Amino acid sequence: MKARSCLAIVLAAGEGTRMRSALPKVLHAVAGRSLLAHVLGAIADAKIGNTAVVVGPRQESVAAEAERFMPGAECFVQRTRRGTAHAVLAAKSAIERGADDILVIYGDTPMIMADTLKRLRAPLATGAAIAVLAFRPTDPAGYGRLVMAGKKLVAIREEADASAREKKIELCNGGIVAMAGARALAILQRIGDSNRKGEFYLTDAVEIANGMKLNAVAIEVEEDEVRGINNKSQLAEAETVAQQRLRKAALDAGVTLVAPETVFLSADTKFGKDVVVEPYVVFGAKVTVEDDAVIHSFSHLVGAQIGKGASVGPYARLRPGTRLGAGARIGNFVEVKESTIDAGAKANHLSYIGDASVGANANVGAGTITCNYGGAEKHRTTIGKDAFIGSNSALVAPVVIGAGAYIGSGSVITKDVPAGALALARGRQVVKEGWAARLRSLKSLGKKKAHSRD
């Protein structure tokens, strides 16, 4: 049998007033990735051919995010926000192209998984006109209630319009609806706005389909998969679910998380084999950790590539553009940004390495600072392989330290240092023998005079 074609329509035009934020709701992040990108990721995993994203007016940033994560997706603008059914019709021209299945997914339901999207389409293949994803929330407030007659779904009642009896229904609308493509427009165009909010509710499609003698069904899933995000509390709840999933996936892939509940991951964090992550580590977006690396406690990593067998922390801060070669070591209270630390190089204590290249096996002593910012622009520091930077040195960029060169402790290096040379750039030490004893005797004389005046 030929595979059924599918069009996914993601509704992302809402303002998200309840988030109390200037950022459009679907751009808020869970596990370092926008709600919209999570939804698009599930659609891509489910291998749904065509995707339409409905955005609000002046929401170019939402369209740009869709383009970034799914370049093939088509964006439609819903000019006035008149409800979820009205939003679906903004993509009318895409629906008219005649897919077998239409899958409407609310953009604020980020934890949805690809397999569930497939499950929801299945009833359409056997004759249902509508399949709604259902769940039993611990707190049903705000969700549409599913009115069932046996296995048949007869209506969805929005909370604002529900009777006291309907409000007691535990089964709720998860915000994902599959519709038979051949029937979708006929049903959608019959939806009116005579309800409490005066909106065109997609949920009314169920009652209309029943009136047309078509079949509607509900497919039940766990709450964690369909938590809708309307406010910051729900955003935080989704983060908890996302973190649990990511930790489980990392553990299943063989990563050692000593205390998984204390490690925060991003949706795109990548681990090799035999990686160890100690308690209390935060992985921001775009971090890759290769085989055998160890990330010690209290480290914060964003946009960093950690080479095989490298060691990071405790208390390290790796910022975007950090690349650590095999066996490199970044120790406590070291910050690295936009820098490459080649294989075997070390910066073990209290350093700032920014806009730098550190050659293989170089040793960056405690307290070394690359002075990369001259007040107007950033400059680069290059440290050759096997170089030795003495503790508490300041390397004023742009500057090149040649391979194997030595920098004396406490130097302020402003000029390039040739390979194999020693550079010292600090005040010379002055020693005055017996000076301390003379000072003390002068002091005690002074005190005696003061006493004699009493």
Contacts of 105 (CB under 8 A, 6+ apart): 8, 9, 10, 11, 39, 42, 43, 112, 117, 175, 176
What is the DSSP secondary structure assignment for residue 223, as one 8-state letter? G
Phi/psi of residue 238, nearest 5 degrees = -65, -35
Query: Which of 108, 204, 225, 342 contacts Ca ion by CB under 5 A?
Result: 108
Q: Which does 14 bind (CB under 5 to 8 A by kind): ligand UD1, Ca ion, none?
A: ligand UD1
Find the shortest distance in angstroms from Cβ 108 to Ca ion. Answer: 5
Catalytic residue positions? 349
Shortest Cβ distance from residue 132 to ligand UD1 (Å)? 9
Considering the complex, what minimum distance in angstroms separates the CB of residue 13 from ligand UD1? Answer: 3
**Residues 207 to 266: which contact Ca ion by CB under 5 A?**
228, 230
- Nearest-CA neighbor of 329 among 314, 315, 347? 347
Tell me which residues touch ligand UD1 (CB under 6 A): 11-14, 25, 54, 78, 81-84, 86-87, 106-109, 142-144, 156, 158, 172-175, 201-203, 228, 230
Q: How far is the CB of 58 from ligand UD1 (least distance, A)?
A: 14
Q: Of Ca ion, ligand UD1, none, which one does residue 107 interact with (CB within 5 to 8 Å by kind)? A: ligand UD1
Give CA–CA dist 382/158, Å, rounded: 63
Alpha helices in 90-231 (DSSP H): 92-95, 114-125, 164-167, 181-188, 205-211
CB 140 within 8 A of CB 170: yes
φ, ψ at 336 (rounded to 5°): -125, 135
| Minimum distance from residue 121 beta carbon to Ca ion (Å) | 22
Give the Å distances, CA to CA, from 66 to 25, 27, 63, 354. 14, 10, 5, 33
Is the CB of 13 or the CB of 255 nearer to ligand UD1? 13
- Count of residues in contact with Ca ion, rule CB under 5 A: 3
Q: Which is nearer to ligand UD1, 109 or 363 (CB)?
A: 109
On the question of a cis peptide bond just before residue 110, with omega within 30 degrees of 0, the verdict is no
Instruction: Kindly state whether residue 342 participates in binding Ca ion, applying the rule CB under 5 A.
Output: no
Nearer to ligand UD1, 33 or 86 (CB): 86
Distance CA 404, CA 154 (A): 78
- Choose the contact partner of 84 out of Ca ion, ligand UD1, none; CB within 5 to 8 A by kind: ligand UD1
Select 109 or 351, whichever has its Cβ closest to ligand UD1.
Answer: 109
Q: Which does 352 bind (CB under 5 to 8 A by kind): Ca ion, ligand UD1, none?
A: none
Q: Which two tokens stand for residue 227?
A: 């938590």
Residues forming contacts to Ca ion in the complex (CB under 5 A) are 108, 228, 230
